[in-house]
Structure 1
């Protein structure tokens, strides 16, 4: 795939023909005068984004001179040692001058190419680079510098390089903007949800009148509870049906609508195990492994024994799921650092919650659901942009 205005052959080189690669270093942590300056200091923990403009660590001029390395803005930083290499290959473009540690290589392009073109060339070769990662012997991954510099590099003319890099840069900027939109929506939702369930944000009816006061209710008084189970994994016939079955890993931490259904069981599996088929709607409460997760299902399904599921409730199920999501996270955080594993079924059933009238429940549920749908819509836009970028990376580099 090429832009139609370009037809020239690409020049075949190796990476060493087009770059100067340098190593970094870390100033002594025992010398406070080396730290807290105004020079961003880059390590693996700073390399989660494509563009670097700051860091959580800064060093002074003295720290730089004592053992680190400065790379001028507009160049590249490649992680060459660290456990992150087993999952991804962090390669970043620095928009400001930065220092970097010994696990990172600074890469400066010569006049044959540009930093931005090389940035996306590296990203297009991620699968090849992952295969080049070897073990340090202590669990981390590493690159051999000579092997990196020997990689085959095909370069178009400077005009085509510019067209390719600018196209991908624009998509990256759009991805960055989209991530910010989603982040701001999630912050808004979290703030609004907290105000609603703390009673600081009040809703009124269609005539502008206040709703009745909220009342304390015990969970077991407003719904029925049942646990789940897991059919024998050794019996393959149990796992060849069409009845959805989920475990706690199939739920998301922060999205009550996210249920990743990938396993299906038979009626025989239900008969011969402790799992049960729950008729929708059902509130899925993880009480053991993965405690704190809550989801709302509008599909009939079965669950593992890590769930205590609430069904046949006498209130707005979506409202109750939003409320329980907050309450279960609080309960889960209170068990962290203790020997307590999960939350008992009795503790959940006897839990008291502050419940508004059904009309206000409906209003609150609709309001929060609208926010969730907006986040979901923006997330789909983000996913399309990511797929577009992946497609271009696979096809623009030959």
Structure 2
């Protein structure tokens, strides 16, 4: 909002009116969901649970679980187009009060007691999808929540949440804009999924040698051979500088831990950094660009390729390809095979762990 009036800094040019401030109590009503014993689940009528709100999918009847509900319950806890479901209880504070908007009437459907239904008539559906996720609203919800074993929020607290609203015409235009953007994201994600499937298909054919490439002269490449990792790569573990010495930390050398690995093909920036002194005074090793990081403990077999010289803690047995013998992305593409082999040979008293020597003996 601008400093001088209650209008957004960016808006469609045809709208000039100020946005008005309302509490949710003023514009709608709340109702907690249904509570049933465990024997009621598994058959009966559709039931919206916590996970249906947490996941990023549209709520549809075909995806819902079932619960044994009465006619009275289905009337009292019904879900109509435009209803908003708030998460009442979450393990993490960031999850409390997250919402999902019901986009179509859900016949004979009830919702969980871990959810709170908000019903109103003066908010555009697509506008609601974004309005309850703004920084202002989220801060209020989290500040009004209480924490014990879980983080919880109740109806009385939600009623106090304040939100600025334009007239319905502007709501609809804003909501439609974000709806189109969401649809574009969905289409791009579908394309990405198709590419991932295509990649897996090619990998299957290539590594089974069903599909073979030829050189620039059209000749077949030599037959594949089986090698131990130690013959084509160096396996290097990691280490941790003493946390009691501040001079070892907050330097300019990357220091990766296993929790940072698994979401990206290439990594070049770690959450924690160490100094040159920290590197010298620990068993951490500076790994070259092209190293394939390989987690060696619980959560074994997560991989990423270094695009910058870095170090790791002791939860890795990283693969440094030998020049002209192994390509980084080739061995990275074999992550699934390496993971299966490492899990099979790994041993630990309290959890599975693969050692450097065991990694070296893996055949590919």
Assess if the C-alpha contact under 8 Å between 1:293 and 1:328 holds in 2.
no
Which residue is equivalent to 1:375?
none
CA distance in 2, matches of 1:197, 1:36: 48
In terms of fraction of residues, the more helix-rich structure is 1
1:9 and 2:18 correspond: yes
Moved more, 198-207 or 286-295: 198-207
Q: 1:238 to 1:216 in 2, by over 3 A?
A: same
**2:275 aligned residue:** 266
Gaps of 5+ in 1: 354-398
In structure 2, the partner of 1:105 is 116
Taking the aligned partners of 2:57 and 2:98, their CA distance within structure 1 comes to 8
Per the TM alignment, residue 71 of structure 1 is displaced from its structure 2 partner at its CA by 0.7
Matches within 5 A, 1:368-387: none
State the secondary structure of the residue aligned to 2:117: strand
Flag structure 2 segments of 5+ consecutive residues without an equivalent. Answer: 1-8
Do the aligned residues in 1 keep the contact of 2:238 with 2:285 (CA within 8 Å)? yes
2:158 to 128, 148, 160: 148
1:1-398 to structure 2, matched below 5 A, reads 1=9, 2-26=11-35, 28-31=37-40, 35=43, 37=45, 39=46, 41-47=47-53, 48-49=55-56, 51-54=58-61, 56-59=63-66, 63=69, 65=71, 67=73, 69-83=77-91, 85-87=93-95, 89-96=97-104, 97=106, 98-110=109-121, 112-124=122-134, 125-135=137-147, 137=148, 139-251=149-261, 253=262, 255-311=264-320, 313=322, 314-331=324-341, 334=344, 339-353=350-364
* Alpha carbons of structure 1 residues 188 and 75: separation in structure 2 relative to 1, 3 Å: farther
Tell me which of the two structures has the higher relative contact order, counting C-alpha pairs closer than 8 angstroms and 6 or more residues apart.
Answer: 1
**CA distance 1:162–1:102, shift in 2 (3 Å):** same
C-alpha distance 222-71 of structure 1, shift in aligned 2 (>3 A): same
CA distance in 1, matches of 2:172, 2:348: 53
Aligned to 1:52, the other structure's residue is in SS state coil
- Residues 74, 347 of structure 1: alpha-carbon distance in 2 compared, 3 angstrom cutoff: same
Q: Deviations over 1:258-295 (max 9, x none)?
A: 34324333332222221222333323222235421222
TM-score with structure 1 setting the length: 0.76
Q: Which deviates more, 145-154 or 318-327?
A: 318-327
CA contact (8 A) 2:347 2:353 kept: no
Aligned length: 345
